[in-house]
Amino acid sequence: MPTRTRLLVSFVAIALLVLTVFGIMAYRIANESALLREAMAMQATVDEIAGQMTSALQVLPPALDTLRGLRLPYLQHARLFLVHTADGKSVPLGGLERDQFPDKGKLLAQLANTAQPASGQLLYRNLQYTWASVFIPGTDLRLTVVHPSIDVEFATLRSLGMRMLITAGIVIWIAVWGALIITALLTKHLNKQNARLVHQALHDDLTDLPNRNLLYDRIEQALHRCHREGQSLALFIMDLDRFKEVNDTLGHHFGDHVLQQVGKRISATLRETDTVARLGGDEFAVLIPDAHMQDAQSCAEKLLATLDVAIPINGMSLSVKTSIGIALYPQHGGDAESLLQHADVAMYQAKRSGSGFNIYAQDQDPHSLRRLTLIGELREAIAAGQLELHYQPKVNLKQQRTHDVEALVRWQHPTLGLILPEEFVPLAEQNGLIAGLTDWVLHTAVKQCCDWRARGICLRVAVNLSAHSLHDLNLPDYIAAILKAADLPASQITIELTESAMMSDLARAMDIFERLAAMGIRLSIDDFGTGLSSLSYLKRLPVNELKIDKSFVIDMAEDENNAVIVRSIIDLAHNIGREVVAEGVQDRDALQLVEMLGADTAQGYYISRPRSAADLETWLHDSEWGLRVQGPRGDTLHLV
């Protein structure tokens, strides 16, 4: 039943209930009033009769004649009695007395007990009577008149019925109109409430911009219009560069303020017919109908210029850089899903190249189908033995010898050839395969280290862990079990974890590193200098070495700022008792520079690329940085 109908029925029911209660009360009051008026009228009539009879009644017969001679309309249906007060016997009045009155003796006996007051109501045999009584002066007679109240009651009911009918009509009319008015008000309120809920479902809470759902709907509408009218459109995906640093440094409150300001600036730059949406986090989307490639490029340049202006926050000026990916219809897709996907690919390409914006090109996304294929084949690759470890030497600069190697996983695909970890490790992390991959790497690295030790090649092997490995609190126990089963000293294994992975869950990383360090395993922070380094955590972490990110080392000779950063990291590490590994040593100049700056270890393509275990042994034999092998009696041997 609709809400309006339920309200109307409820109001009418309440009105009828009120009307019924009111009617019962009104009937009782009206009935009592009518009976009272009747009693008073009868008393007045009886007093008048007695007054007329006073002078005439000397003896009973004349009195009776006088009484019979009265013609009072009010007494037409009444019963009259003359009663001796001495003995209570009635005096016959002939036809006037109407002896046929039922149980006259009992009725008179009951009236004899009601001498006072002189009038009233009497319930006799479930019938209501009104009576009045008066003494005839100079006699011992009392004149009593009894009148049935049936006619009065009927008249009262008829009068009340008419009034209640009129009142009921008025009450129901008011109830109906009241219900309609309240229903209209409730409907208006519910419409506003529904509109607010719909708005919330289709808009972002923080910026009040359309969300992903509304963006999809508008893209579909725009595509229908493009199909019908032969138009084109442009779709932008925008992502703020290094926005995580804003949240981590200034707090999420400031980050939210930045997002709100960015949303307002984007909206102010575009036309009213364009759609600006927030997809989540620091990612925005822009839909520009009827736009060609030149229009899209021009709009992207305007957006970059607008967002390049610093945003004032609490007396500070914060500069926000943005990367924009552009996909066009119909060149880059014919539906909302493909346009969003291709714009996202173009955005990441713009972010990697630092170009500000980038228009999707198919040759920039050669691995999209390949990536889906790799996801399906990666699980089988682990079981089928298609993975292998390559090892890259780490040269101790003081001794000019290789004492450590870093184990790097490779996928030897049967049809695609050698696939590097940069391509398939993220797929493993995203699809729940990283645990199996980490397990294989650990077992293989430990086995290879044991094999080398058995042949007198004492190399420490470093194994990289994914950030997802930190989710497993049993990881230290698991590594300890692997080492125990292989009878390999814990000091022969180095665990490397990137600084950004550690900072994502520092408390858990601290716990796992402390347990690994207690076992004697060496610990290393990889890509140091890119993850918001902090002395507060660096002092407390039980790590043995810091690996300077190769982006600082590669351009160190051309960029003096990078050289300053490398020197600062080396000095910092040495001051707190940590060793330093310089990654990315690509030429002799870089090697000499990191050695001059005080790095303890160097690693890079100039020294050696990652090699298979067999190739590494050959390199150790031939290279100037090779390893001296100890024989069973401690004598120095050469690798064969």
Comparing 212-366 with 385-630, is the CATH topology the same? no
Residue 594's pLDDT band, with cuts at 50, 70 and 90, is very high
CA-angle at 498, arms to 355 and 580, nearest 5°: 105
User: What are 288's strand-pairing partners?
Assistant: 234
Q: Please give the Cα distance from 153 to 306 (Å, whole number).
A: 91
- pLDDT single digits (tens) 376-394: 788 888 888 899 999 999 9
Domain boundaries defined on the chain: 3-155, 212-366, 385-630
- pLDDT single digits (tens) 315-335: 777 777 889 999 999 888 888
- pLDDT single digits (tens) 521-550: 999 998 887 654 556 677 788 899 999 988
Task: Give the architecture (CATH level 2) of 212-366.
Answer: 2-Layer Sandwich (3.30)
Predicted local distance difference test score (pLDDT) of residue 34? 60
Q: Is the Cα dihedral 501, 505, 511, 512 positive or negative?
A: negative
User: Which of residues 238 and 505 earns the better pLDDT score?
Assistant: 238
- Catalogue the E-assigned strands of 176-281: 233-240, 275-280
Cis omega before residue 117 (within 30°)? yes
Predicted local distance difference test score (pLDDT) of residue 616? 94
For the ranges 66-75, 419-428, 472-481, 580-589, the lowest mean pLDDT is seen at 66-75
Given a cut of 90, is residue 405 above it in pLDDT?
yes
- pLDDT single digits (tens) 60-86: 555 555 555 554 455 555 666 666 555
Region 469-493: what's the mean pLDDT? 91
CA distances from residue 303 to 323, 390, 547 in whole angstroms, order as listed? 10, 46, 38
- Own/partner contacts of 213-220, CB < 8 Å, gap of 24 or more, are 214/275, 214/277, 215/275, 215/277, 215/279, 215/285, 215/287, 216/336, 218/275, 218/287, 219/287, 219/336, 219/339, 219/340, 220/336
Region 441-461: what's the mean pLDDT? 94
Given a cut of 80, is residue 354 above it in pLDDT?
no
Q: How many CB atoms lie within 10 A of CB 573?
A: 23
Per the structure block, which two tokens stand in for 179?
A: 């219900």
Region 258-263: what's the mean pLDDT? 89
Q: Which residue has the tokens 């009992």?
A: 106
Q: Which residue has the tokens 């490790």?
A: 425
Predicted local distance difference test score (pLDDT) of residue 638? 39
High-pLDDT (> 90) share of the chain, %: 28
Given a cut of 50, is residue 585 above it in pLDDT?
yes
- Own/partner contacts of 89-96, CB < 8 Å, gap of 24 or more, are 91/60, 91/64, 91/141, 93/64, 93/67, 93/68, 94/64, 94/68, 96/67, 96/68
Residue 25's pLDDT band, with cuts at 50, 70 and 90, is low
Predicted local distance difference test score (pLDDT) of residue 31? 58
Predicted local distance difference test score (pLDDT) of residue 45? 65
Q: Across 22-26, 153-157, 518-522, which has the greatest mean pLDDT? A: 518-522
- pLDDT single digits (tens) 270-282: 988 899 999 888 8
User: Which of residues 240 and 55 earns the better pLDDT score?
Assistant: 240
Q: Is the Cα dihedral 57, 59, 62, 65 positive or negative?
A: positive
Q: Please give the Cα distance from 586 to 590 (Å, whole number).
A: 7
Predicted local distance difference test score (pLDDT) of residue 416? 83
Pairing of the two strands 275-280 and 283-289: antiparallel
Predicted local distance difference test score (pLDDT) of residue 546? 92
What does CATH list as the number for 385-630? 3.20.20.450
CATH fold of 3-155, please? Answer: Beta-Lactamase (3.30.450)
Q: Please give the Cα distance from 217 to 87 (Å, whole number).
A: 107
Per the structure block, which two tokens stand in for 545?
A: 């070495």
Region 459-471: what's the mean pLDDT? 88
Greatest Cα-to-Cα distance within the chain, rounded to the nearest angstrom: 171
Predicted local distance difference test score (pLDDT) of residue 100? 45
CA-angle at 37, arms to 34 and 40, nearest 5°: 150
Residue 491 DSSP code: G
Average pLDDT across the chain, whole number: 78
Q: Please give the Cα distance from 377 to 564 (Å, whole number).
A: 45
| Length, in residues, of the chain | 640
Residue type, 165: L
Predicted local distance difference test score (pLDDT) of residue 400? 92
Given a cut of 90, is residue 171 above it in pLDDT?
no
The C-alpha torsion from 424 through 426 and 429 to 431, rounded to 10°, is -70
**Contacts (Cβ under 8 Å, ≥6 apart) of 440:** 382, 387
- pLDDT single digits (tens) 209-253: 998 888 989 999 999 989 888 889 999 999 988 787 777 777 778
Residue 608's pLDDT band, with cuts at 50, 70 and 90, is very high
Given a cut of 50, is residue 94 above it in pLDDT?
no
